[in-house]
Structure 1
Amino acid sequence: MPTHDNRSPWAMLQAGNARYVEGRSNAQVRRSPERRSELVGSQAPSAIVLGCADSRVPVEILFDQGLGDLFVVRTAGHVVDSAVLGSIEYAVQILAVPSIVIVGHDGCGAVAAAIAMVDQGMVPPGSIREVAERIAPDVVRARLAGAGTFEETVEQHACHTAELLSERSALIADAVRAGRLTVTPTRYSLSSGRVTEAVPLRQLLPV
């Protein structure tokens, strides 16, 4: 991302996503051997992206970014464990990255497994079970807030993940309170290629 760009990190990522959707990428110059050489000694990413490990959701591509632009952490269903939290805290505390963007997506197998666990008592094998168990409470919370579709459940899971980061990390919570860090939950559409901001359903309910 150009250093002279005064837009917020999320606004720049939105612009990059629009380029990706419209087929007018300009990130190639930031993936060049010259750019690689620039980054040998240090990094200064503009945003942290916590996304799903799904092969259809490569965040550098869908946001049209290059080398060194994003600090990316990906797990199935963007679940948060100590390794994920420590990685994000490193980017916030040591690299002073000012933005976290959480990317949920349509067709997420991890969310589908959690829904099957909640609705049918289906327990997936191996450590997949732990992933589903971490997401299942968010499925229940989403339903209680009024989520009626898979896509709405994905969005609410992203919103709940945003809350979880501050709940589990004093470093992240302090940075948010001090105005040094923003956290933006989003949902990626596999069909359209668009990333849109997710809104907690409780904000849409009457007070």
Structure 2
Amino acid sequence: MIPAQEALQRLRDGNRRFVASVSSGEMHLARKVELTQQQEPIAIILGCSDARVPAELVFDQGLGDLFVIRVAGNVVAPSQVGSVEFAASRFNTRLVVVLGHSRCGAVLATVEELQRPAENQSINLRSIVDRVRPSVQELMRTELKDDMPSLIGRAVRANVRASVDHLRHGSAVLEQLIRHEGLLVVGAEYSLETGVVDFFDGV
């Protein structure tokens, strides 16, 4: 079992390699056979489904290193909580990272929905928008409503914090692991512009 802080440092080091375009070569499939029997991921990543933010590349990690859960807007619903519980309990993974990113389409869609509600929005898409909505709604009551880039930037981080909070306090299993087993849940934002991941919540 790798302690949370050590895992976090590995992710930071990997992101530095990614930004510098210096891969460690960990992405190769040499471990494919070894991993058929077991896996020991160093971190659980709950990230956005955006095609520009693949966690293994962003953190320069290899096959079997990350347990990745991806959903638009990095929102937390019961299936995501259950997936985190599963990995943390089954594999003794002690680091959970909620990974948002700049210019998040799900956040933008939520802002647009609040500005001009759609008449026939899919109930499935609405379930994502409804989970992002609380993070956006408060900000839209401030002067940020007239500054869309700043609004989206602040809303991305607010949405990450909401997901982190949900994982920390919305699961008895995770609460116990945090309290007694060293589980750490942190929030981070990936910059599409620079490739840098900023760990800003819980580190």
TM-aligned CA deviation for residue 4 of structure 1: 9.2
Deviations 1:169-191, CA, capped at 9 Å, x for gaps: 11111111225200110011001
Q: Which runs of 4+ in 1 moved over 4 A?
A: 3-7, 141-148
- Find the residue that maps to 2:76 and give its secondary structure: coil
Any gaps of 5 or more consecutive residues in structure 2?
A: 145-149
Letter in 1 for 2:32: R
Counterpart mapping for 1:1-207 below 5 A: 8-26=6-24, 28-32=25-29, 34-122=30-118, 125-126=121-122, 127-141=124-138, 148-199=150-201
1:145/1:56 Cα in 2 relative to 1: closer, same or farther (>3 Å)? Answer: same
Aligned residues: 196
Q: Which has the higher contact order (CA 8 A, sep 6+)?
A: 2
CA contact under 8 A between 1:52 and 1:104: conserved in structure 2?
yes
Output the CA distance in 2 between the equivalents of 1:181 and 1:5: 8
1:5/1:179 Cα in 2 relative to 1: closer, same or farther (>3 Å)? Answer: closer
Identity %: 33
Any gaps of 5 or more consecutive residues in structure 1?
A: 201-207
CA contact under 8 A between 2:4 and 2:183: conserved in structure 1?
no
Tell me the TM-score normalised to structure 2 length. Answer: 0.87
- Find the residue that maps to 2:46 and give its secondary structure: strand
TM-aligned CA deviation for residue 149 of structure 1: 3.0
Tell me the TM-score normalised to structure 1 length. Answer: 0.85
Deviations 1:85-116, CA, capped at 9 Å, x for gaps: 11111001111100000110111111111112
1:158/1:37 Cα in 2 relative to 1: closer, same or farther (>3 Å)? Answer: same
CA contact under 8 A between 2:140 and 2:151: conserved in structure 1?
no
CA contact under 8 A between 1:142 and 1:156: conserved in structure 2?
no
Letter in 2 for 1:17: N
TM-aligned CA deviation for residue 120 of structure 1: 3.4
